[in-house]
Amino acid sequence: MILVEHLTHIYAPGTPLALTSLEDVSLHIEEGEFVVLAGATGSGKSTLVQHFNGLLLPTAGRVLVGGRDTRDKKVRRDLWRTVGLLFQNPEQQLFEESVFAEVAFACRNLGLDEKTVAVRACRALEMVGLEPDRYRALSPFALSRGQQQLVALAGLLAYQPPVLVLDEPTSGLDPAAREHIWQLLKKLQQAGHTVVVITHHMEDAARFAGRVVVLHRGKIYRQGTPRQVFSDPGGLRAVGLDVPMPCELMYCLQQKGLPVKSGIITLDEAELELKNLAMG
Amino acid sequence: MQGNITLGFYVPGQSFIHRLDPRTKILACLAMTMAVLFCNHPAGFAALSLVTLLALGLARVTPQLLLGILRPFGIFLVLALLLQLLFTPGRPLMMLGPLQLTREGVHFGFQLLWRLVLLIISGSLLTLTTSPLMITAALEDLLKPFRRVGVPVFELAMMMSIALRFVPTLLEEAQQIIRAQQSRGAAFTRGRLVQRVQGLVTLLVPLFASAFRRADELATAMEIRCYRPGANRTRMHQLRFHCRDYAVLAGTGVLFLIVLVMRWWG
Ligand SMILES: Nc1ncnc2c1ncn2[C@@H]1O[C@H](COP(=O)(O)OP(=O)(O)OP(=O)(O)O)[C@@H](O)[C@H]1O
Ligand SMILES: [Mg+2]
């Protein structure tokens, strides 16, 4: 679906402020995958995902979406219909006078009729856990940051792009809302969407991702299933990441010389393993 | 459009110009500005251009960066040139349809163009090599005498520095917002006029909202730190003139005088 080949991106090239934010990144995201993008602050995650819908263009290398090069102007113009991108800061895009209009904005840009737009907007609000009747008429500026984020997410879900790319959708949400969003994304993936999520929560990544891609200083440091990626806590910690708690626990036990399996990433697995250990 | 060097950007460095006292730079910039405005003699322009070139070299500004500085002004410069070329009355050189190109038009057109370029460069050199903090400190110091007559110097200097500090931030933010809205299908550069105006609304509302929010937060932050204009604060970096500052001041002063002399007696 999204093919990234030897992508290098330099901000402000040719000036004293030039900064290489991505260096020779190659990545293939298949249709229907659930990919989590992780990496320390400033490792280039946001920069990378903005290449997926043609907002940023490669300084070198290329990005193909559905086989079409994002450098092609005509392709780029309509790329947002295929690849829906949720930005890191929702407050940077809210401008309508009501939550409803905000959520409907992208739908309207698709050229849908008002009735469909209304139905979809309300559905999307429900999906993210905001009751439409309570929120639709409020001003988006009167909401809390977390709620604004949910509104922005609803706006994305309402126009139903086949690929969903979300830049830290759960930062600043309470645990219940966070869980809800992850479950929702999983459901969307099962319904056929391709989902790419940036997050700093490794526990969630371990539970939901089909593949985890770790960026470090603009390069791909490691990628694979959560089990593969989290098998080496030391290396991950060196690039500024955590490993999920169960994983960490098993690793510590192993270090103490106890016979536990490695490659454990969920709480349930850890519980089972501890039981086995206690039984002897 | 992504991440260009914009007006008012500060690029840290260790060049000769960077190390000058900020007051020197402000005064020299002022002298250059006046000189450029008063100058009307080819020899004067040559001298001013040479000095500007020397300053660019001393500040280690690459041709690429220079182009980056001038590019945003491109349209404005061309427009200024065209207006002068086509609408200055005088001895005709040739006809272009209903308009005529005059000798004076060409003269004044290119003179104006050159003036503007020199002004932009000397202004940019100041902000490029001086941190907003230093500019504020220098302004406060330079304007001190005016406090006697009731000019709110500290407030003015603080306002200046805040503005300088936030122009690049807001430009950066505007680009972010444009990208966010484009990825929701907003049209900025295509479509009918109505759509473009709508596109502008989707940019301006979040931009203003953010500017006000920033202003609010900044005000709170300043209050928390007990900021009071004019309170007698000491500085981490005391401003001090060195030999190089006197040399630069003397140089630009002399240049300014020469230009003045050429204008009235030349
Ligand atoms: N508009 C820009 N202009 C110049 N440099 C930028 C710009 N945006 C990002 N950068 C730089 O590019 C690098 C990568 O930034 P990016 O935003 O992609 O990081 P990130 O992985 O998303 O970090 P975070 O977890 O904080 O969101 C950083 O070093 C940053 O300073
Ligand atoms: Mg980011």
pLDDT digits (tens, 9 = 90+) for B24-78: 999 999 999 999 999 888 889 999 999 999 999 999 888 888 888 888 888 999 9
pTM of the full predicted structure? 0.80
Dist. CA A224–CA A234, nearest whole Å: 17
Dist. CA A235–CA A237, nearest whole Å: 5
Tally helices (H) and strands (E) across chain A.
12, 10
The kind and range of the H/E element at A223 are strand A219-224
Contact A53, A59 (CB under 8 A): no
Structure tokens at B112: 């104006």
Pairwise pLDDT comparison (B218 vs B160), residue with the higher score: B218
Of the partner residues B185, B190, B213, the one whose CB lies closest to the CB of residue A106? B185
The three-point CA angle A53-A59-A65 to 5° equals 30
Per-residue pLDDT, averaged over B242-247, amounts to: 93
Contact B72, B9 (CB under 8 A): no
Q: Which residues of chain A have pLDDT under 70?
A: 14
- Across the interface, whether the CB atoms of B179 and A87 are under 8 A apart is answered yes
Atom of ligand 1 nearest to the CA of A40: 25
Q: What is the mean pLDDT of chain B?
A: 87
Residue B8 pLDDT grade (very low, low, confident, very high; cuts 50, 70, 90):
low
Chain B residues in contact with A93 by the CB 8 A cut-off are 177, 180-181, 184, 202, 206
DSSP A90: G
Residue B231 pLDDT grade (very low, low, confident, very high; cuts 50, 70, 90):
confident
A192: left (phi over 0), alpha (psi -120 to 50) or beta: left
Per-residue pLDDT, averaged over B214-226, amounts to: 91
- Substitution site in B4, B6, B172 for ligand 1 pocket (most atoms within 8 Å of beta carbon): B172
Residue B253 pLDDT grade (very low, low, confident, very high; cuts 50, 70, 90):
very high
- DSSP secondary structure, A161-184, as one string: -SEEEEESTTTT--HHHHHHHHHH
Give the ranges where A22-144 is alpha helix by DSSP (H).
Answer: 45-52, 73-82, 99-110, 114-128, 132-135
Chain A residues in contact with B202 by the CB 8 A cut-off are 93, 95, 105
pLDDT tens per residue across span B178-204: 999 989 988 777 777 887 888 888 999
Which residue in chain A is spatially nearest to B202 when comparing CA positions?
A95
Asked whether residue B3 carries a pLDDT value surpassing 50, the answer given is no
What is the predicted pLDDT for the residue at B41?
A: 85
What is the predicted pLDDT for the residue at A262?
A: 75
Distance B60 CA to ligand 1 centre (A): 27
Dist. CA A67–CA A19, nearest whole Å: 29
Residue B5 pLDDT grade (very low, low, confident, very high; cuts 50, 70, 90):
low
Of the partner residues B3, B173, B180, the one whose CB lies closest to the CB of residue A11? B3
Per-domain boundaries in chain B: 1-152+239-266, 165-229
- Phi and psi, residue A146, nearest 5°: -60, -40
DSSP B95: E
* Least confident stretch, A97-106, B97-106, B200-209: B97-106
Chain A residues in contact with B173 by the CB 8 A cut-off are 92
DSSP A230: T
What is the predicted pLDDT for the residue at A60?
A: 94
Q: What percent of chain B has pLDDT over 90?
A: 39
Atom of ligand 1 nearest to the CA of A168: 27
Asked whether residue B266 carries a pLDDT value surpassing 80, the answer given is no
3-state DSSP of B142-190 = HHHHHHHHCCCHHHHHHHHHHHHHHHHHHHHHHHHHHHHHHCCCCCCCC
What is the predicted pLDDT for the residue at B2?
A: 38
Structure tokens at A44: 């280039």
What is the predicted pLDDT for the residue at B1?
A: 36
